[in-house]
Amino acid sequence: MQKALLTGATGFVGRYVMDALLNSGFEVRCLVRDLERSESLAQRGVERMLGDLARPETLTRMVKGVDLVVHLGGLMTALGRNEFEQVNGLGTRHLVGACAEQENPPVFILISSIAAAGTSSEKLRNELDPVHPVSHYGRSKRNGEVAVAAVADRVPVTILRPPFVFGGGDRSGFYIFRPIKRFGIHPVVGMRHRRQISLIHAEDLACSILLAARAAARVDVTDAGRDCFSEGCYFVADDATPRYSQLGDMIGHALGKSKITKLPVPDTLALTLGAGASTVARLRGRPGVFSLDKAREGAAGSWTCCCDKIKQDLNFKPRASLQDRLQQTVDWYLTHGWF
C-alpha cells in the first residue's frame, strides 16, 4: 500500500483530499500542530504526526517512507505580508527541502493558486503566461512555487493552480452565499459587472490531485528562474467562467430565488472597507475573511484560467456541472444549518 503525507488535512479542502486518498487505497499520514484539535483525523484511521512548517527539524521524519506528498497546508488569510511568507513561501521551501534529503524522494504535489499567477484579460490565463501576482497572498504562493521548482532536479514536483474553491464546509465561500439567501443581495466589486471568475469544487480538485500524482508531467528545474512553467504546472477549474454578477444568479437559482439584486461596490469603496477590516483584524490579533489584501484581488480584474492542458495531459473533467456543484453546496449549507 502506498503512503501519502497530507498537509492542511483539517481544513475545508483537506477533508475532501483526505477522502480521495483513502478511497484510492493510500495509507495517509497527516501533519498536524495540535493532537487534540485533530482528533477527528484519528477517527478516520489516519496517522497523525506533530510538525510545523516553520521548524524544518520536525519535517524530516514526517516525509520519511512516504511515496506522495500533497502540500495543501497554508494561509489564505493573515495579518500581514510576513505571516503569509513564513508559511506559504518559507514553509513550502522547508517541506520540499526535507523531501529532497530523502534517498528516494516522494512525488510532491503543490496546491498553489491562481493568485500566484495573477488576473486574466479578455483571454483566459494559461500556464505559459508570465505571472504578476497582485496581493501578498499571491506573492507568497508564487514564492512557494519557486521553492519547489528549485529542487525539481531531485524531487518529482507538480504544481496545481486552482482558482476559487468552493463546496460544503467552506466558511470563506459561505459569505458569498449568505447575503443571497437572507436578503437576495449579491455585492459585486466593480461598477460594470464585467469581471469573470473561474471556480472549482473541492471534490473535483481532490480528483485532479490523484490524477496529477499518478501521471502528470513534472516541473523542469530550469524553469525555477523564469516567470512561467513549461511543464509540470496545471490550472484546474470548471470550464464555465461566469461573470461574478452572474454567479449571484446561479447561487440564487440554487436557493430557489427568482430575482437577485446586484449591489455594485466601487473599487475605491472595496479597498477602503478592506483597509478598515485589516485594521480591526490587527487590533484583535486575528485575521478575518475580508481584508485589504482580498480587496486588492477583487478590484484587480477577472480571475479566469484555461484548463486545456490538464484535460489533455490527465483527461481531467469535473464530475458535475458548475450549477449542479453550486446546488450541492447550497444543499450542504441547508442540511447543516449554516443559514
List the CATH number of the domain containing 54: 3.40.50.720
pLDDT band at 191 (very low <50, low <70, confident <90, very high): low
98 φ/ψ angles, rounded to the nearest 5 degrees: -65, -35
Instruction: Give the C-alpha separation, 131 to 125, whole Å.
Output: 10
**DSSP per-residue letters across 277-290:** HHHHHHHHTS--SS
Question: Residue 270's domain spans which residues?
Answer: 171-195+241-300
Cβ proximity of 161 and 305 under 8 Å? yes
Residues 183 and 75 occupy one common structural domain: no
pLDDT band at 192 (very low <50, low <70, confident <90, very high): low
Q: What is the mean pLDDT of residues 138-151?
A: 97
Percent of the chain clearing pLDDT 90 (strictly above): 88
Domain count, the chain: 2
Residues 158 and 251 occupy one common structural domain: no
Instruction: Give the C-alpha separation, 149 to 34, whole Å.
Output: 30
- In terms of C-beta density within 10 A (0-12 exposed, 13-18 middle, 19 or more buried), how is residue 117 classed? buried
Domain assignment present for residue 337? The answer is no
How many CA atoms within 13 Å lie on the side-chain side of 143? 20
pLDDT tens, residue by residue, 256-276:
998 999 999 999 999 999 999
pLDDT tens, residue by residue, 109-131:
999 999 999 999 889 999 999 99
Q: What is the pLDDT of residue 18?
A: 96
Instruction: Give the C-alpha separation, 259 to 276, whole Å.
Output: 31
Over 90: is that where the pLDDT of 142 sits? yes
Over 90: is that where the pLDDT of 162 sits? yes
Domain assignment present for residue 336? The answer is no
Cell 496546491 -> residue = 111
Residues 136 and 83 occupy one common structural domain: yes
Q: What is the pLDDT of residue 194?
A: 84
Instruction: Locate the DSSP E strands across 116-171.
Output: 157-161, 164-166
Q: What is the pLDDT of residue 101?
A: 96
Instruction: Give the C-alpha separation, 182 to 268, whole Å.
Output: 26
Instruction: Give the C-alpha separation, 68 to 56, whole Å.
Output: 18
Cell 480584474 -> residue = 301
Q: What is the pLDDT of residue 40?
A: 82
Cβ proximity of 48 and 41 under 8 Å? yes
Residues 96 and 176 occupy one common structural domain: no
pLDDT tens, residue by residue, 27-43:
999 999 887 777 888 78
Cell 529542487 -> residue = 151
C-alpha cell at 301: 480584474
- Residue 210: partners with Cβ closer than 8 Å, 6 or more residues away: 20, 21, 24
Residues 85 and 176 occupy one common structural domain: no
252 vs 43 pLDDT, higher one: 252
Q: What is the pLDDT of residue 193?
A: 65
Domain assignment present for residue 335? The answer is no
- Residue 316: partners with Cβ closer than 8 Å, 6 or more residues away: 207, 208, 211, 236, 307, 310
Instruction: Give the C-alpha separation, 218 to 154, whole Å.
Output: 11
- Per DSSP, what are the bridge partners of residue 233? 159
Q: What is the pLDDT of residue 190?
A: 82
Domain assignment present for residue 330? The answer is no
Residues 314 and 214 occupy one common structural domain: yes
Burial readout 47-74 (b: 16 or more C-beta within 10 A, e: otherwise): ebeebbbeebebbeebbbebebbbbbbb
Percent of the chain clearing pLDDT 70 (strictly above): 99
Residues 8 and 155 occupy one common structural domain: yes
Domain assignment present for residue 137? The answer is yes
Residues 179 and 225 occupy one common structural domain: no
- What is the phi-psi region of residue 301: left when phi exceeds 0, alpha when psi lies from -120 to 50, beta otherwise? left
pLDDT band at 245 (very low <50, low <70, confident <90, very high): very high
Residues 14 and 132 occupy one common structural domain: yes
Question: Terminal CA-to-CA distance of the chain, rounded, Å?
Answer: 41
Average pLDDT, the chain: 94
Q: What is the pLDDT of residue 35?
A: 77
Residues 161 and 48 occupy one common structural domain: yes
Domain assignment present for residue 45? The answer is yes
Residues 39 and 177 occupy one common structural domain: no
Domain assignment present for residue 327? The answer is no
Over 80: is that where the pLDDT of 1 sits? no
Q: What is the mean pLDDT of residues 227-254?
A: 95
Q: What is the mean pLDDT of residues 178-190?
A: 94
Instruction: Give the C-alpha separation, 83 to 204, whole Å.
Output: 29
Domain assignment present for residue 68? The answer is yes
Closest CA to 170 of 13, 35, 304: 13
Over 70: is that where the pLDDT of 139 sits? yes
Residues 56 and 9 occupy one common structural domain: yes
